[in-house]
Structure 1
């Protein structure tokens, strides 16, 4: 009797087994041979589940994003204020040594995308951007509905993304402290968008 393999499950398992490998070697230095060896499969089998190396990288990054989403929803469910929720959204990449490794990977991804990114990288970036926009929109819309912040705050969602991406660069090149930069930014932001009590 033939064994039926769940292709999506197998893809995920290969990606899971190569998480540490990607963090250790980075995107450019990762090879299909290393992936096959780490996953305990043949090089040809890798191509049964992935189109190319980038496809594997996307799958692994997607796993990281799922973990961040889980942590994000846990943190915001424990947060009373919108200010805290936005702070958590912006600070997830700067929590500990493990997230710092993810941050290095993200920087490499940005560098490759800017220098010689593929159409697939662009599409993946757009998908990630859409995903994080939905989370920010959820936080902002809920706060507007509760009359905690002004409705115009919704127009600042792109600026929040720009701050987040800029911080990834500044923490590396200018050695800025992420937590203090995020705290200052969020405090300033809320001075502008928080609903003022009518006197």
Structure 2
């Protein structure tokens, strides 16, 4: 009797088995041979599930995003205000040593995309941004419905992405303190968009 393999599950398991390898070696120095060895499969089998090395990197980053998203929603359910929710959203990559490793990988992905970017990388980056935009839109829409922020605030969602990406670079190059920059940005943002109670 033939063994039926769930291709999506197998793909995920291969990615999971080499995630620490990616964090250790980075995108550029990771090889298919290392991936195959970590997953306990042959190099040819890797190509049955992934088109190339970048495809594996996308899968691992997708797994990281899913983890961050889960952690974010845990924090959001405890958050008392929209301001706190936005803070948690922007602060996700700066929480602890593990998330800082993910941050380092994200920096490398940005650098790699700028230098040797492919159409697949652009599409993957756009898909990630769309996912995060959907999360922010939900937060903003709820705050607008509750008359906490002005409706025009929704137009600032792309600016939040730009701030977030800029901070990823500045924390590395200029050693900017992420937490204080995020706090300052949010205070300024809410000074502009928060609906003040009429006296």
TM-score range, shorter chain: over 0.9
TM-score, length-normalised on structure 2?
0.99
| 1:64 partnered with 2:64 | yes
Write out per-residue CA displacement over residues 16-54 of structure 1, whole angstroms, 9 at most, x where no aligned residue: 001100000000000000000000000000000000000
Please give the alpha-carbon distance, in whole angstroms, between the structure 1 residues aligned to 2:94 and 2:197: 34
List runs of 5+ in structure 1 lacking aligned partners: none
* Partner residue in 2 for 1:83: 83
Give the CA deviation at 1:116. Answer: 1.4
List runs of 5+ in structure 2 lacking aligned partners: none
Q: Which runs of 4+ in 1 moved over 2 A?
A: none
* Partner residue in 2 for 1:138: 138
* Partner residue in 1 for 2:55: 55
Give SS of 2:4's match.
coil
Give the CA deviation at 1:198. Answer: 1.6
For this pair of structures, how many residues does the alignment match? 199
Please give the alpha-carbon distance, in whole angstroms, between the structure 2 residues aligned to 1:2 and 1:154: 53
Give SS of 1:159's match.
helix
Give SS of 2:175's match.
coil
Give SS of 2:80's match.
coil
Query: Residues 1-199 of structure 1 correspond to what in structure 2 (within 5 A)?
Result: 1-199=1-199
Write out per-residue CA displacement over residues 67-99 of structure 1, whole angstroms, 9 at most, x where no aligned residue: 001001111011110000000000000000011
Give SS of 1:198's match.
coil
Give SS of 2:27's match.
helix
Give the CA deviation at 1:122. Answer: 0.4
Please give the alpha-carbon distance, in whole angstroms, between the structure 2 residues aligned to 1:52 and 1:158: 31
TM-score, length-normalised on structure 1?
0.99
Give SS of 1:195's match.
coil
